[in-house]
């Protein structure tokens, strides 16, 4: 085993457990003789380009453990896709620092970044081992049963909907909640975990995997109001029409360097849908909330299995990188075919994970396209864990 230095960085949207992966990798590397120095680049590849690093061998064990339990990206993050010129500049820095192990924690855009750097490194015959460590609250990485960060964000969503459903039960009317998920509806689907009784909300769930029509939406809301006397609705921020045009697309302008439209950090979609329900369904009390960045950053409520798995993918990445026969890859979470929930970690090729999005499979969505199935609940429950117990009076149960 040839000894070399290591560089690790975080990229894309933060999560509640991305620091678990960082700390898992750092602690595994600190214990491994193949790893020399451990550089933490600040704000992803931007920190490599700007040569802004911290020394991750210097931080105390107790600081590392406290950081692991802290939401968001402790090294800072970035949304930047490297150009060919960036790659050249990055190699220059990596060579200077004698980096042999490069780890990048993030989603599919980040996996693409690792893939680009790895391809360029091979072309330049620069001996570096490039690994992607998965992270995304969207749960949309291919090759993975689920991704670190999803379980905790899903837990936030399920708790929020549970409370919001109780609030709606008390005051009535229609409540629309907009949930993150640009292309994949996994996080929105997690709203269903809030239900205990048959008449609990969310009563309607709309994912980007099914075309959204205003007419169908209004009809659904009217039917739910008739049945339940109130209606709680979980809507993905990424809902789109049959041509794939996001419902909100015309209301926003900002686009990031990966070509993505800004959907989060605005209440526009919720207000748009609330206006439609008021006008077209003739319902007076209609409210909309957009859960926004709290879904990925709220402290103290992470799913414990998610936190543990996030830690372990970091460890697995270092273990794979120091193996003589694995030169690059992405760590993927595979669910075991056991009755009791359990997972394995595997190394998969970077190109299998890069860029492309995994969608909510058909068997998780109901026929009408306005709810999820029991198969989804069975899939998601162990990732999220038990929710706080909520109860109503026995005389008010249906």
Interface residues toward a second copy, by CB under 8 A: 10, 13-14, 16, 40, 43, 54-56, 58-60, 63, 66-67, 69-79, 159-160, 162-164, 166-167, 169-171, 175, 264-268, 270-271, 274, 286-294, 296-301, 387-396
CB of 325 closer than 8 Å to CB of 170: no
Helix or strand run (H / E) with residue 86: helix 84-96
Cβ distance to a second copy smaller for residue 337 or 386:
386
Q: Which residue matches tokens 């207000």?
A: 271
Whichever of 162 and 358 has its CB closer to a second copy, that residue is 162
Which residues form the catalytic set? 138
Strands 343-348 and 286-290 turn out to be unpaired
The three-class DSSP label of residue 223 is: helix
CA distance 392 to 197: 10
Minimum CB–partner distance for residue 71 and a second copy (Å): 5
Closest approach of a second copy to the CB of residue 340, in Å: 25
- Residue whose CB is less far from a second copy, 73 or 305: 73
Minimum distance, C-beta of residue 46 to a second copy, in the bound complex (Å): 10
Distance between CA atoms of 237 and 262, rounded to whole angstroms?
10
Nearer residue to a second copy within complex by CB, 333 or 380: 380
**Residue 3 or 285: which CB sits closer to a second copy?**
285
Measure CA of the first residue to CA of the last residue in the chain; give whole Å.
66
Minimum separation from the CB atom of position 58 to a second copy (A)? 7
Q: Work out how close the CB of 143 gets to a second copy at its nearest, in angstroms, rounded to a whole number.
A: 26
Which H or E run contains 108?
helix 108-123
How far is the C-alpha of 190 from the C-alpha of 185, rounded, in Å? Answer: 9
**How far is the C-alpha of 156 from the C-alpha of 137, rounded, in Å?**
11
Nearer to a second copy, 84 or 300 (CB): 300
- Is there a contact between 53 and 39 (Cβ–Cβ < 8 Å)? yes
- Cβ neighbors of 224 (< 8 A, separation 6 or more) are 203, 204, 231
Q: Which residue has the tokens 């570096």?
A: 128
To a second copy, the closest distance from the beta carbon of 25 in angstroms equals 14
Burial of 2 (0-12, 13-18, 19+ CB in 10 A): exposed
Q: Are 205 and 371 in contact (CB under 8 A)?
A: yes
């Amino acid at each position: 085993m040839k000894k070399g230095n290591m560089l690790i960085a975080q990229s894309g949207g933060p999560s509640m457990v991305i620091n678990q992966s960082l700390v898992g990798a750092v602690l595994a590397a600190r214990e491994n003789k193949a790893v020399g120095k451990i550089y933490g680049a600040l704000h992803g590849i931007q920190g490599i380009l700007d040569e802004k690093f911290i020394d991750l061998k210097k931080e105390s064990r107790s600081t590392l453990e406290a950081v692991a339990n802290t939401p968001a990206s402790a090294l800072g993050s970035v949304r930047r896709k490297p150009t060919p010129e960036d790659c050249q500049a990055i190699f220059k820095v990596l060579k200077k620092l004698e980096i042999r192990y490069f780890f990048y924690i993030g989603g599919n855009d980040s996996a693409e970044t690792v893939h680009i750097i790895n391809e360029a490194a091979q072309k330049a015959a620069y001996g570096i081992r490039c690994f992607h460590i998965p992270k995304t609250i969207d749960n949309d990485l291919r090759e993975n049963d689920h991704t670190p960060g999803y379980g905790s964000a899903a837990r936030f969503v399920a708790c929020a909907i549970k409370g919001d459903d109780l609030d709606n039960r008390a005051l009535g009317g229609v409540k629309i909640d907009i949930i993150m998920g640009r292309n994949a509806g996994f996080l929105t689907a997690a709203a269903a975990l809030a239900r205990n009784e048959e008449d609990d909300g969310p009563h309607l769930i709309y994912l980007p995997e099914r075309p959204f029509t205003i007419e169908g939406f209004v009809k659904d809301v009217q039917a739910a109001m008739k049945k339940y006397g109130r209606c709680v609705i979980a809507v993905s921020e990424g809902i789109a029409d049959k041509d794939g045009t996001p419902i909100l697309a015309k209301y926003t302008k900002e686009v990031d360097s990966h070509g993505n439209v800004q959907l989060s950090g605005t209440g526009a979609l919720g207000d748009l849908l609330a206006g439609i329900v008021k006008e077209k369904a003739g319902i007076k009390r209609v409210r909309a909330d957009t859960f926004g960045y709290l879904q990925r950053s709220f402290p103290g409520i992470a799913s414990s299995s998610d936190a543990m798995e996030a830690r372990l993918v970091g460890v697995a990445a270092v273990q794979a990188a120091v193996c003589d026969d694995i030169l690059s890859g992405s760590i993927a979470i595979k669910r075991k075919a056991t009755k009791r929930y359990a997972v394995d970690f595997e190394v998969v090729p970077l190109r299998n994970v890069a860029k492309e999005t995994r969608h909510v499979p058909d068997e998780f969505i109901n026929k009408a396209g306005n709810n999820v199935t029991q198969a989804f609940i069975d899939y998601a429950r162990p990732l999220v864990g038990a929710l706080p117990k909520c109860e109503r009076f026995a005389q008010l149960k249906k």
